[in-house]
Amino acid sequence: MLKSLRTKSDEKEKIVYISPEGTAPQFFVTEAETFTYQGILERCEWHGYIVNGGIQQIANMRCYMRYDAKYKYLEGVFISDILVDLYWQSKGYGGKLIDLLIRYAEKLGAEYLCGKLSFVDIGREDDPDRGEKTERLSRFYRRHGFTVCDSNRIFLSLKNLNGY
C-alpha cells in the first residue's frame, strides 16, 4: 500500500519515516517544505498516518523557520502546532514527530527549537483541568530534552547537539 502512495503523493510531500515491518498498526510520516518566492525555507509540515485497513491521518506538526534580520542564516525553528488525534495519543506518535523535527533542525544547522504550550492544548485560565493538562504536555516536552518555562514557553538548544 505504501508503494502505491509514494507514486501518488504530492511532489512537495515525501515520506521520511516508515515504522519497522511487523509493527501494528503501520505508521508513516510525510514531510512538506514551503519556500518563499526568493527560495528561502519558510515552514515545514509533517503528517503522520496509520495504515490499518486504510490510510488515516492521525497527526500533524507545523513549524516556521526563524532567521537572522537579513535572512543570512537560520537561527531556530518555531513549533507552531503538534496535533495527534485523541485516540492515538500516548502511543509514541507525537514523540516520533518531535524526534524527526530535532533531526531535521540539526541537519539545517538551527541553533534552537522553541514554541509555546497553546491554550487549545492546556485549556483556558478557567479550565479546571488546566494544571493537569499543562503538566502532561510539559512532561512530553521534557522527555525530549526541552526546557518548559513558567510562561508555558518551550525551548531546546541544539548548540551542544550540533557541536557548537
pLDDT tens for each residue of 52-105: 888 999 999 999 999 998 888 999 999 998 999 989 989 999 999 999 999 999
Task: Give me the residue label for grid cell 496509520.
Answer: 50
Q: How far apart are CA 63 and CA 76, in angstroms?
A: 10
- Residue 156, SS3? strand
**Structure-model confidence comparison of residues 8 and 160, the more confident one:** 160
> Is the four-CA dihedral 15, 19, 22, 26 of positive or negative sign?
negative
Residues 64-85 as b or e (16 or more Cβ within 10 Å = b): ebeeeeeeeebbbbbbeebbbe
Identify the band that residue 11 occupies on the pLDDT scale cut at 50, 70 and 90.
low
Q: How far apart are CA 62 and CA 54, in angstroms?
A: 24
The predicted-structure confidence for 101-159, as pLDDT tens digits, reads as follows 999 999 999 999 999 887 666 656 676 666 777 788 888 999 999 999 877 899 999 98
Strand (E) or helix (H) holding 75: strand 74-84
Q: How far apart are CA 121 and CA 83, in angstroms?
A: 9
Supply the pLDDT for residue 164. 45
The stretches of the chain forming alpha helices (DSSP H) are: 2-8, 93-108, 119-122, 130-143, 159-162
Tell me the CA distances in angstroms from 105 to 18, 38, 75, 110, 127, one per residue in order: 19, 21, 10, 5, 34
Identify the band that residue 8 occupies on the pLDDT scale cut at 50, 70 and 90.
very low
Query: Strand 55-67 vs strand 112-116: parallel, antiparallel, or unpaired?
Result: unpaired
For range 6-29, the mean pLDDT: 80
Supply the pLDDT for residue 7. 41
Q: Which domains does the chain have, with CATH numbers?
A: 2-116 (3.40.630.30)
Supply the pLDDT for residue 22. 85
pTM: 0.85
